[in-house]
Structure 1
Amino acid sequence: MPKETFIKLKEEKQKQIREAFLREFAIKTYDEASISMVVKQLGIAKGSVYQYFEDKLDLFMYLVNESVAVKSKYTAVLKRENYPDFWAYFSDLYEYGFQFDQENPLNSHFLHNLTQNLNSPSIKHFYNELLSQVITGFEKLAEYEVENGLFRSDVPVKTLGFFLYKLGSSIQEQLEISGIINPKESIQKGLPVYFGKKDELMQVVADYIKLAKPAFNKN
C-alpha cells in the first residue's frame, strides 16, 4: 500500500508517477523494470519513491490493485443473472473489457503483461498465489452454472473452472501469436492493446464460444 506521503500528493502528481511506472512494468518484466530510469524521466530523486512506497514490490502491488480496480469498474456492472446463458455474459465481459482497454491503455497494457511480470524469478512465489485466486474466481462461475443446471455436472467444478481460465488466456495468446495485436508496438505508439481490433477480438471470442459451449453446457 502507498504511504501517506503519496496519498497526500496532488492527484496530478500521483497520476504522473502511476502512469510512468505502469508503462515501465508494461514493457519490461518485474526484474528488468528500473526505478532509477523512471525517476530520471520524471525528474525526481530516487529516494522520493521510497518515501511513497516501502519498496519496488510495494509499488508493483499498488499498480496491480489499481489496475484491477479500474477494470472492475467496467466489468462489475455486468450481472450474470441478467443474461440468458453464461456465454452471452462471457461475450459481454470482452465487450466491456475492450472499452476498458480503449479508455485506460496503460492499465490495460500493464495487466496484459502481468503474467510475464509475475514469472520474474524474484517474485515467482507470488505467481501461484495470485493464479490460485484467479482460478478460484472461475471455479465460482462454473459452480453457479452447475447449480442452476446449465453446465454439465459429470465433470468436477475445479476442472470446469480451470478450463474457463485457460479459455480466456488462450484467446489473448492467439490474438498475440497471430499478430492481430502487438502490445509492444502499440504501447510505443501510445495506443491501447486492442486499438482498431474490436471486430477481430470479438470474432475470436465467438469462435471459442462455439467450441466451448457444447463441451460445458448440460445436454
Structure 2
Amino acid sequence: MVALKTFNNLSIERQTEIISVCLEEFALHEYQTASLSNIVSRLNLAKGSFYRYFENKQSLYFFLLDHCIQTRLKNDQEAITVKPTDFFELMIEHLKAKAKFDKRFPLHSAFLYNVMQEKNNDEIGNIQLTVKLKALEAVKPLVSEAFKNHVFRRDIDIEAISFLVYRMQFTILEYLELKHKLDFRQNIKNQKPFYNLPEQEILNVAKPFIEIFKTGIAGKKEENNSYE
C-alpha cells in the first residue's frame, strides 16, 4: 500500500519524522494495541490531519512494511558491493549487511521483527505468510543461480532450498536472542541498536550454523559411536 498524496507532498524531514514515530509505536506494541492516538499526539497532529496521510491503521501498517523491506534491500545492495562466488560466503555477507542495517535502522529492524511475531487478524490477515513470501522472492534468484552452478543437490526443490536459506538466517537471529538474552523492546526504548551486539559476535555465532547447513549435522561413523 502507498501513502496518500498529501504525505508525499511533505518535506523529506517531516516524512522521516512521521515514519520514525510510527515505526516505534508498532515496534513496541502488537498491531491490535498500537495506538494511532499515541502517534498523532507525539507528532502534534490532529487525528483528522493524520487521515490525510494514510487512509487507516491498516494502510499505514502495510506502507511501513513495504518501506522497511525496500530499505533493507537497498542496504544489502550498498553493503554487498562485490558478490562472493561461494554461495555460503554470500550468506555471511548478508548477515554482515544485516548487522549494519540493525545499527543504521534499529526501528526498521524492530518493526520487521514484530511483524514476524504477529498473530492473524481480520485487518492484516496472515501477515507472517505475507512476509515469508516476500523474503522468498528475494532469496530465490540467488538460490537459482547457485543451483545452476551445482552448489546444491539436484534432487532438492529450489523453493525448498530457498526456504531453508531464509529460515537459516532467522534461526541465527533467534539463537542470538536466546544466547545473549536480548530484550529488543528495551533496546528500542533505550535508543540502542536492535541487536546491540558487535558484528564479530554475530559472525562467530553465524558461521557454525552455516557450516552445518553446508555439510549437514551428522558426524562420521566413529564420531557417532563415541557416546555409546
Matched AA of 1:190? Q
Match of 2:18 in 1: 17
TM-score, normalisation: structure 1? 0.89
The residue type equivalent to 2:121 in the other structure is P
Q: Which residue does the alignment assign to 2:95?
A: 94
The answer for the alignment partner of 2:215 in structure 1 is 214
Q: 1:79 to 1:145 in 2, by over 3 A?
A: farther
| Alignment match, 2:195 | 194
Q: Does residue 139 in structure 1 map to residue 150 in structure 2?
A: no
* Aligned-residue CA RMSD (Å): 2.0
* Alpha-carbon separation, structure 2, partners of 1:129 and 1:70: 17
Give 5+ residue unaligned stretches, structure 1: none
Determine the C-alpha separation between the residues in 2 that align with 1:59 and 1:156: 36
2:221 is aligned to none
User: Could you tell me which amino acid in structure 2 is paired with residue 144 of structure 1?
Assistant: E
Q: Which moved more, 1:53-62 or 1:64-73?
A: 64-73
Distance 2:182 2:3 in 1: 33
What is the match of residue 29 of structure 1?
Answer: 30
Q: Which amino acid aligns with 2:179?
A: S
* Larger proportion of helix: 1
SS in structure 2 of the partner of residue 76 of structure 1: helix
- Checking the alignment, whether the CA contact within 8 Å between 2:24 and 2:107 is kept in structure 1 is yes
What is the aligned partner in structure 2 of residue 111 from structure 1?
Answer: 112
CA distance in structure 2 between the aligned counterparts of 1:75 and 1:90, rounded to whole angstroms: 11
Once residues 135 and 73 of structure 1 are traced to their aligned partners in structure 2, the CA distance between those partners, rounded to angstroms, is 17
Q: Considering only CA atoms, is the larger Rg found in Structure 1 or Structure 2?
A: 2
Which residue identity lines up with residue 162 of structure 2 in the other structure? Answer: G
Q: Give CA deviations for 1:92-133 in whole Å, capped at 9, x if unaligned.
A: 11112211211122112212222124x342323343233223
Change (3 A) 1:130 1:105: closer
Residue 19 to residue 57, structure 1, CA distance change in 2 (3 Å): same
The letter for the 1-side match of 2:139 is F
- Whole-angstrom CA distance in 1 between matches of 2:194 and 2:167: 20
1:6-29 deviation per Cα after TM superposition (whole angstroms, max 9, x unaligned): 111122221221111000111111
Match of residue 121 from structure 1: 121
Contact 1:67 1:107 in 2 (8 A): yes
Task: Report if aligned partners of 1:143, 1:157 keep a CA contact under 8 Å in 2.
Answer: yes
Q: Which amino acid aligns with 1:151?
A: F
Q: Aligned pair count?
A: 214
Partner of 1:47: 48
String of CA shifts for 1:42-99, please: whole Å, max 9, x gaps.
221111211101111111111112112222222124368x313001111011112211
Who is 2:225 aligned against? none
What TM-score comes out, normalization by structure 2 length?
0.85
What stretches of structure 2 of length at least 5 have no aligned partner? 217-228
Distance 1:171 1:151 in 2: 21
- Aligned partner of 1:73: which letter? K
Asked if 2 retains the 8 angstrom alpha-carbon contact of 1:5 and 1:51, the reply is yes
**Is 1:158 the counterpart of 2:159 in the alignment?**
yes
**Range that drifts further, 51-60 or 98-107:** 98-107
Tell me the SS of whatever aligns to 1:121: coil
CA distance in 1, matches of 2:66, 2:167: 22
